[in-house]
Structure 1
Amino acid sequence: MRRRRLLTRRGTGTLVAAFGCLVAANVLGARILLFMAVFLAALTLFSALAVRLPRRSGTVARQISTDLLTVSEASRVTVRFTLRALRVPHGLWHDVLPDAVAGDSSGEYPAETAQLSYLITGVRRGVWPLGPLMLRTVDPFGLAQREQAFGDTRTITVVPEVFALTPLAVRIGAAGGTAHTSSTRLGQGSDNLSPRGYAPGDSMRRIHWRATAHRGELMVRQEEEESSPDALVVLDRSAGRWDPQGDAADPAFESAVSLCASAALHLAAEGYSVDVIDTAGTLLGALRGHEDDRDGLLVALALVTPRGEARELAALVGGTPPGPLVFVTGRVDEEDAALLRPAGAAAPLLFATEPLPGAADAARQHGWTVAALGTDVAEAWDDALAARSGAGDVPR
């Protein structure tokens, strides 16, 4: 953050004029110029002392209308600023914003109330500092200025943009993505489940007291195993798939992260249990219908960057093939695509931001539905669904 100089341009000009008058007074022998030089220098010094000497302290409290700020989403920031000073100075305030958010966070001080408010819009995902609050005051003559920071910074998390996607026209089993239940194993259930006889090793917390009193022997609750079809979303973040990152964001990788988030939340809304992993096998999020699952995934995706090497996809999928499998990658050639095996997934979808010649055909031979991913995430998803419905059944 660039610090402002003590003197304004007017103050600097006044000081230069005072020096010029002093030189001219010595050259021309004009006493009036000497008086003018002393007056201008004294005025500049007085202005500098007037803005620098008063002691000021204050507290800053910020409140953001949304806990997580989505890219392209607007949120309101409310700042409560309490200033302690001998007199209320007049000037301009502004909250320091990172490049990852956009907004006009400045205004005149003092405001009509002790509360300052402004709008910000997410520009780039990540975790960024917001603040401190800067107060800039100028003396009545406009010769000197003072800019002082108040309060600490606050962290703001910008998460990837999530798009509404078209429903996936695939059904895994009879229920599709809708969760179903079956009583097949033991464990903790609820009181209305069918009881069974007590067996050594059963937890005492699972004793069904009503059934025990009715039958005269210890009865325990039979657990109802809840299961739902699984979906897997894989984000290929291996460094070789993406352009080297500098200070600016890679638009291709940002689209990939956005599709990853959109696809995972979309499949979870359709009733699937969704795991989101990267190609190194790191779990980025698990969506199981809990309220915090969504936020946890978005926060994890806000921090991902290209790095490392990729593992074999079959090893990531494991022994139980998922229903839908969404694989999001970057630059992929024909040789790389030939090594991608969907591992028995019922609906394998491959999205590549830069499919090189021959890559799409090589992937389709293994049963992938391939779509190019550009800046429009929803359009790429629709292209994949259209290609899948047009292809019909393909060998795996």
Structure 2
Amino acid sequence: MREALAGLTLRGRAFVAAGVTAVVCAVLLGQPALTRVGVLVLALPLLTAAYVGRNRYRLALVRTVSPQLVTAGQPARVGLTMTNQGRTPHAVLLVEEQLPYVLGTRPRFVLDGIGQGWRREVSYQVRSDVRGRYDVGPMTVRVSDPFGLVELGRSFQTSVPLTVTPRVVPLPPINLGGGSSGSGDNRPRAFAHGSAEDVTVREYRRGDDLRRVHWLSSARTGELMVRREEQPWQARATLFIDNRAGSHRGQGVASSLETAVVAAASIAAHLGRRGFAVRLVTAAGEDAAAAWHVRDATLDTGPILESLAVLQPLRATHLDTGWLREQGQGGLVIAVLGDLTQADLPVLRRMHHGADAGLAVALDVAAWGTGVPTAPGASGAAVLSRQGWRSVGLGPRDRLDAAWQDLGRSRATAPRPHGATSGPGTGIRTGGGTGATTRGGPS
């Protein structure tokens, strides 16, 4: 009853005030008829509150989101199925879904005629242009009486996640210049099957099929060994993205970090379609949820896109190098980089040295901060080219597919000796020619 009285609407409180006023005036003026009217007006909201407060509601809700994994800008439909599992009829239900602001306005529904065995299905559409993982729900229900004097709030605690992945730009095919570990070919290959005498083994590497383990050799050496002649030679690619907050400029979807995420997602989808096993590495190290993922029949590099959907900027100032200690790194390495510092160069050299081929997309971060592109000789793409990378610059007004095409035509210059620096730069002292494709600035 206390909860019901607290749920009196403005109309219900007005009735209570009018009833009390009428009773007081009737006593002062000696009007018995006015007393009866005041008692009736006062009793109506009180009786309604008692009726609503004593009822026990048994409402059930089933919420579905289809699909639960969408690309930024793609809509998803939310279906709601509500049933009345109790015997008590309800007059009016005011239903409101709780949604994050980026998914749109909160949908509201008015449901009436609710009796025993009642069932109602409604749906609405959500859409977000911002990547991330969001919770759809919970739902709040306000039960109202036919006179609109009392409203009681109820809430379903359940919610359904919706993952919005970054936008994927179709990329043209280019010469990647290496992909299979230990090979210069950029397409998946496999060993020919040999006889039992031709069996050779090697150490187990992350991503190897456990069915290829050679148990006799493993027992003899004390380490897992796999058969080489039966082991599929999967083309591998490591996708590195620099997500340090200090390496990027701008805010929201127009920031350089969001451009880097879109570039990484597009490259991951492109590599997946070409048959690569792709793993994602960030400034904090290898992402365990997106390690050596091979494209399946329904979704290109789904775990990698899901990891990129929730990627957040890091406050760290240095790149993690733990993943570089893995034996037999090899394969193709594609890096999406922001602003570089002198301390990053040794890490980038190690990254390139352990790969069969190294490609880099260097964002012209200065163009996001000041609007003025960096000089071609001092750009991040030029610095990476002098480190032996095939690199291309990307500015805020550049098209990613065109930059990717330029990356396929780029060539790296011979790496300079460690410590050889000269000339001005953006926080990095470097020298020599560029040999890289640089982009940026007004088009």
Shift in Å, 1:156:
0.6
Give the Cα separation in 2 of the matches to 1:27 and 1:119: 59
Per-residue CA deviations over 1:336-394 (Å, capped at 9, x if unaligned) read 676644625635222437237444354454345243354x8xx5422423543665554
User: Which residue type is aligned with residue 178 of structure 1?
Assistant: R
Give the Cα separation in 2 of the matches to 1:261 and 1:95: 31
Structure 1 residues 385, 125: CA separation in 2 closer, same or farther (over 3 Å shift)? closer
Confirm or deny: 8 A CA contact 2:68 2:76 kept in the other structure: no
Q: Which stretches in structure 2 are left out of the alignment for 5+ residues?
A: 202-210, 213-226, 368-373, 416-443
Per-residue CA deviations over 1:104-141 (Å, capped at 9, x if unaligned) read 64323258953332222245444443333333232222
Q: Percent identity?
A: 22
Query: Match of 1:98?
Result: 100
Query: Match of 2:13?
Result: 12
User: Which residue type is aligned with residue 233 of structure 2?
Assistant: S
Confirm or deny: 8 A CA contact 1:369 1:384 kept in the other structure: no
Confirm or deny: 8 A CA contact 1:72 1:123 kept in the other structure: yes
Shift in Å, 1:249:
8.1
Give the Cα separation in 2 of the matches to 1:29 and 1:359: 93
Give the Cα separation in 1 of the matches to 2:134 and 2:322: 36
Query: Match of 1:299?
Result: 306
User: Which residue type is aligned with residue 273 of structure 1?
Assistant: A
Secondary structure at the counterpart of residue 355 of structure 1: helix
Confirm or deny: 8 A CA contact 1:170 1:176 kept in the other structure: no
1:352 matches 2:363: yes
Confirm or deny: 8 A CA contact 1:165 1:266 kept in the other structure: yes
Per-residue CA deviations over 1:224-267 (Å, capped at 9, x if unaligned) read 3422443221122234335799xx88854344333322211211
Confirm or deny: 8 A CA contact 2:8 2:149 kept in the other structure: yes
Structure 1 residues 52, 359: CA separation in 2 closer, same or farther (over 3 Å shift)? farther
Q: Which moved more, 1:78-87 or 1:236-245?
A: 236-245
Structure 1 residues 200, 160: CA separation in 2 closer, same or farther (over 3 Å shift)? closer
Structure 1 residues 392, 199: CA separation in 2 closer, same or farther (over 3 Å shift)? closer
Secondary structure at the counterpart of residue 182 of structure 1: coil
Give the Cα separation in 2 of the matches to 1:37 and 1:353: 76
Shift in Å, 1:75:
1.9
Give the Cα separation in 1 of the matches to 2:127 and 2:40: 49
Confirm or deny: 8 A CA contact 2:268 2:301 kept in the other structure: no
Query: Match of 2:159?
Result: 154
User: Which residue type is aligned with residue 74 of structure 1?
Assistant: P
Structure with the larger strand share = 1
Give the Cα separation in 2 of the matches to 1:381 and 1:89: 56
Confirm or deny: 8 A CA contact 1:73 1:122 kept in the other structure: yes
Secondary structure at the counterpart of residue 384 of structure 1: helix
Per-residue CA deviations over 1:150-204 (Å, capped at 9, x if unaligned) read 4x41331313223132224224359853211234xxxxxxxxx442249899xxx
One of 384, 390, 394 as aligned partner of 2:403: 384
Query: Match of 1:66?
Result: 67
Give the Cα separation in 1 of the matches to 2:295 and 2:413: 32
Give the Cα separation in 1 of the matches to 2:26 and 2:364: 73
Give the Cα separation in 2 of the matches to 1:37 and 1:252: 68
RMSD between aligned residues:
4.1
Give the Cα separation in 2 of the matches to 1:223 and 1:231: 22
Confirm or deny: 8 A CA contact 2:240 2:280 kept in the other structure: yes
Give the Cα separation in 1 of the matches to 2:28 and 2:254: 63
Give the Cα separation in 2 of the matches to 1:58 and 1:113: 10
Q: Which moved more, 1:135-144 or 1:361-370?
A: 361-370
Q: Which stretches in structure 1 are left out of the alignment for 5+ residues?
A: 184-192, 207-220
Pairs within 5 Å for 1:105-184? 105-110=107-112, 113-150=119-156, 152-172=157-177, 177-183=186-192
TM-score (norm 1): 0.73
Q: In the comparison of the two structures, how many residue pairs are matched? A: 360
User: Which residue type is aligned with residue 240 of structure 1?
Assistant: G
Give the Cα separation in 2 of the matches to 1:136 and 1:283: 44
Give the Cα separation in 2 of the matches to 1:199 and 1:370: 43
Per-residue CA deviations over 1:262-318 (Å, capped at 9, x if unaligned) read 211211212333221112222351222345883322333333322334326797497
Shift in Å, 1:56:
0.8
One of 260, 264, 289 as aligned partner of 2:264: 260
Give the Cα separation in 1 of the matches to 2:199 and 2:411: 50
Confirm or deny: 8 A CA contact 1:160 1:257 kept in the other structure: no
User: Which residue type is aligned with residue 303 of structure 2?
Assistant: G
Confirm or deny: 8 A CA contact 1:125 1:157 kept in the other structure: no
Give the Cα separation in 2 of the matches to 1:252 and 1:244: 6
Structure 1 residues 110, 395: CA separation in 2 closer, same or farther (over 3 Å shift)? farther
Confirm or deny: 8 A CA contact 1:71 1:160 kept in the other structure: yes
Confirm or deny: 8 A CA contact 1:232 1:324 kept in the other structure: yes
Give the Cα separation in 1 of the matches to 2:200 and 2:319: 43
User: Which residue type is aligned with residue 407 of structure 2?
Assistant: R
Query: Match of 2:277?
Result: 273
User: Which residue type is aligned with residue 96 of structure 1?
Assistant: Q
Per-residue CA deviations over 1:54-89 (Å, capped at 9, x if unaligned) read 111132222222242433222222223221232243
One of 355, 372, 375 as aligned partner of 2:394: 372
Secondary structure at the counterpart of residue 313 of structure 2: coil
One of 228, 232, 253 as aligned partner of 1:226: 232
Confirm or deny: 8 A CA contact 1:102 1:123 kept in the other structure: no
